[in-house]
Structure 1
């Protein structure tokens, strides 16, 4: 693993997400991306202390933000234009501890044209 400017190691096989201008995902922390064996986008984010709740795990809003961002990124990649989330439902199974590396594996099965 190499390090990025926030001193979190860049996970093996990933590249750091870089934006030309300030981006809302920067408030969560640096993210990383790669493709899986099928060519689907995989993104990764570390749970920083400021992303945690009083229980010492990632805040649910942070988890939903990275899931939404990752899925929209994958959808935009396949369409080459902007997309918007219309509906988002989530169920939390367990907590992600501070310092954990979270991976989001995307697979676009359907895109609705409005």
Structure 2
């Protein structure tokens, strides 16, 4: 018996993505996560649905999709406003599911700012299928350095 991956079960990372450097805390538990930052400053985050992401029916667990939505939606504040942030509210609507082995992506956009509160809307998808849409409110905690390689 072997634990080696068969060639047909290995994952090929989509072009432009890099693994996020999250090796501690919750990011390590939910990962690995990947991101692609485009020349225009927009971004997409992604992950491959692995065994530790699924529920008993082999679907990506809703809690995983919500946690991913949180880090996918909120990242727009890091990129565009150069702020650290915490989540105040996250509202999601589940529209479809993702199966073990599928590639899931997500992003967010700022739709409002008042004082230190940012309202963001976002989308999580798998191929042409929207899995989740949502909105969130994040509180900015302070300035952070501009992310390397990202144009403001």
TM-score bucket (shorter structure): 0.7 to 0.9
Structure 1-normalised TM-score? 0.80
1:54-93 residue pairs with structure 2 within 5 A?
54-93=56-95
Equivalent position SS for 1:24:
helix
Task: Tell me the CA shift for residue 99 of structure 1.
Answer: 0.9
Task: Give the alignment's Cα RMSD to 1 decimal.
Answer: 2.0
Count of residue pairs the alignment pairs up:
107
Tell me the residue number matched to 1:35.
37
Cα distance in 2, alignment partners of residues 83 and 105 from structure 1: 16
Cα distance in 1, alignment partners of residues 48 and 94 from structure 2: 18
Unaligned runs of 5+ in 1: 1-6
Task: Tell me the CA shift for residue 66 of structure 1.
Answer: 0.5
Unaligned runs of 5+ in 2: 1-9, 118-152
Cα distance in 2, alignment partners of residues 18 and 37 from structure 1: 20
1:1-114 residue pairs with structure 2 within 5 A?
8-19=11-22, 22-36=24-38, 38-112=40-114, 113=116
When Rg is computed on C-alpha atoms for both structures, the one with the higher figure is 2
Task: Tell me the CA shift for residue 94 of structure 1.
Answer: 1.2
Structure 2-normalised TM-score? 0.62
CA deviation string 1:57-79 (max 9, x = no partner): 00000000011011222212222
Q: Which runs of 4+ in 1 moved over 6 A?
A: none
Equivalent position SS for 1:13:
coil
Task: Tell me the CA shift for residue 84 of structure 1.
Answer: 1.4
